[in-house]
Amino acid sequence: MSSPIKTSSTNTLPAQPDVFSKLEVERSTPTDESVASLEKKLQKEIDRNREERFFWICATTFLIDVIAFKFIESWPTHILLALIQLPVLVAIASHLGFEQVAVLWERLYSKYLKGDD
């Protein structure tokens, strides 16, 4: 016949090796420091390029506005065009990682449009 099932009060999980005791603290080598330095420089260059791209977009938008305003004679249309362009430029700035513009826009919005102090 079948043997009875034995129950035990001990843990039935297999013994796990102590993985953390095998980890060694690696010391940084000159190569690691060089790689970290180059990564920082690359990130700064990428950020600088994104900011420059945003400034070029703003300058181009400004020049297009100047040309368009020559042909559009009503001031309400100028204001409407600016109100449409500002949120778009803020969205472009946020997309490019230029968060200073978004923070400035949020402060101006909360101060003047919401009336919060």
Mean pLDDT of the region 22-44? 85
**Whole-number pLDDT of residue 6:** 57
**Whole-number pLDDT of residue 5:** 60
| Helix segments in the chain, DSSP class H | 19-22, 30-71, 75-95, 99-108
For residue 60, the enclosing domain spans 30-113
Note whether residue 13 is domain-resident: no
Note whether residue 91 is domain-resident: yes
Compute the half-sphere exposure of residue 86: CA atoms within 13 Å on the CB side of its CA. 12
Note whether residue 41 is domain-resident: yes
Radius of gyration, CA atoms only, the chain: 31
pTM, 2 dp? 0.62
Query: How many angstroms separate the CA atoms of 43 and 64, rounded?
Result: 32
Note whether residue 6 is domain-resident: no
**Whole-number pLDDT of residue 23:** 66
**Whole-number pLDDT of residue 14:** 59
The total number of residues shown for the chain amounts to 117
Dihedral sign, Cα of residue 107, residue 108, residue 113, residue 117: positive
How many separate domains does the chain show?
A: 1
